[in-house]
């Protein structure tokens, strides 16, 4: 554990936030033309763009499943996304997060509606400052919705952590690196179902319960922003059609 002080005695973090305060968040939908759906998210200094293609015929055909679509994801960090240039080749962490994000999204997507097809989700991290897996899930869910793919609910994600013995919401990079724990949580908020729960570090049983409640509050805020981003997107589309 780092000797660096990440939380002041009066509960102020190094970036000026309180323990239950999100970083500044921006979401946009429909930025890209050459795909079925797209979304962009900024969460603090983390910046991610997502493109969705499909549903479309599976190639090669042996990948197709007879009773449902195959959801394929690719989580990738651009070479310029971190302070030191990253290799363009996929790292072990990117391969792991590709799987984690797919598993967080799958319960929400009505894959049985599109047998023998694939749905591709490309998550590109343009700038990384912690929380990329959570922000990637949130933006991917938005892109799937914009693509018109039927879903049980949007999937919304945030990370909670532990600093100086206190549970905090939405870690930044410094907190993620030097804090005592990091717990990404993804949910379908409207039906109150968790689709992702991971923990790096240690939390007591009480801290785990508290962390889930803190995550729910953050997810609720992000969920409203997701719905607002979709509403703005389709309001603009309707206005253009009327003109």
Q: Is 14 exposed, middle or buried (0-12, 13-18, 19+ CB in 10 A)?
A: middle
Alpha helices in the chain (DSSP H): 92-105, 132-146, 173-178, 205-242
Q: What is the pLDDT of residues 178-191, one digit of tens each?
A: 889 999 999 999 99
Could you tell me the residue ranges of all domains in the chain? 25-236
How far from the centroid of its chain's Cα atoms is residue 216's Cα? 14
* 143 or 243, greater pLDDT: 143
pLDDT at 59: 82
- Distance in angstroms (rounded) separating the CA atoms of residues 228 and 237: 14
Tell me if residue 153 falls in helix, strand or coil.
coil
Q: What is the mean pLDDT of residues 102-118?
A: 96
Q: What is the pLDDT of residues 13-69, one digit of tens each?
A: 988 999 999 999 999 999 999 999 999 999 999 999 999 999 999 888 888 899 999
Tell me if residue 41 falls in helix, strand or coil.
strand
pLDDT at 24: 96
Contacts of 154 (CB under 8 A, 6+ apart): 108, 141, 142, 145, 188, 189, 190, 223, 226, 227
pLDDT at 2 over 60: no
- Percent of all residues in the chain with a pLDDT value above 70, rounded to a whole number: 95
Q: What is the mean pLDDT of residues 85-107?
A: 90
Look over the chain and give the mean of its residue pLDDT values, rounded to a whole number: 92
Please provide the distance, in angstroms rounded to a whole number, between the alpha carbons at the two ends of the chain: 59
pLDDT-derived band at 5 (thresholds 50, 70, 90) equals confident
Q: Which of 182, 86, 72 is nearest to 127 (CA)?
A: 86
pLDDT-derived band at 7 (thresholds 50, 70, 90) equals confident
Beta carbons of 172 and 130 less than 8 angstroms apart:
yes
Q: Which of 41, 42, 45 is nearest to 29 (CA)?
A: 41
pLDDT at 3: 52
pLDDT at 1: 41
- Distance in angstroms (rounded) separating the CA atoms of residues 38 and 178: 33
Q: What is the mean pLDDT of residues 147-162?
A: 96
pLDDT-derived band at 95 (thresholds 50, 70, 90) equals very high
pLDDT at 148: 95
pLDDT at 109: 98
pLDDT at 10: 84
pLDDT-derived band at 87 (thresholds 50, 70, 90) equals confident
pLDDT at 242: 60
For domain 25-236, the CATH superfamily is: GHMP Kinase, N-terminal domain (3.30.230.70)
């Amino acid at each position: 554990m780092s000797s660096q002080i990440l939380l002041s005695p009066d509960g102020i973090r190094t970036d000026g936030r309180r323990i239950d305060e999100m970083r500044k968040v921006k979401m946009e939908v429909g930025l890209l033309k050459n795909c079925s759906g797209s979304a962009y998210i900024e969460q603090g200094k983390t910046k991610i763009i997502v493109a969705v293609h499909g549903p479309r015929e599976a190639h090669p055909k042996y990948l197709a499943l007879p009773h449902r679509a195959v959801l394929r994801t690719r989580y990738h960090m651009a070479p310029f996304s971190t302070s030191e240039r990253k290799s363009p080749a996929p790292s072990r962490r990117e391969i792991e997060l590709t799987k984690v994000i797919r598993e967080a999204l799958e319960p929400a997507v009505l894959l049985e509606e599109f047998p023998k097809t694939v749905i591709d989700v490309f998550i590109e991290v343009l700038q990384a400052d912690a929380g990329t897996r959570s922000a990637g899930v949130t933006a991917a869910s938005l892109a799937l919705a914009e693509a018109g793919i039927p879903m049980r609910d949007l999937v919304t994600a945030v990370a909670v952590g532990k600093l100086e013995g206190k549970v905090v919401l939405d870690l930044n990079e410094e907190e993620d690196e030097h804090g005592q724990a990091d717990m990404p949580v993804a949910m379908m908020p409207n039906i109150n179902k968790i689709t992702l729960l991971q923990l790096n570090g240690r939390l007591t049983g009480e801290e785990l319960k508290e962390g889930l409640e803190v995550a729910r509050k953050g997810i609720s805020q992000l969920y409203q922003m997701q719905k607002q981003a979709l509403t703005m997107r389709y309001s603009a589309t309707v206005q253009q059609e009327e003109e």
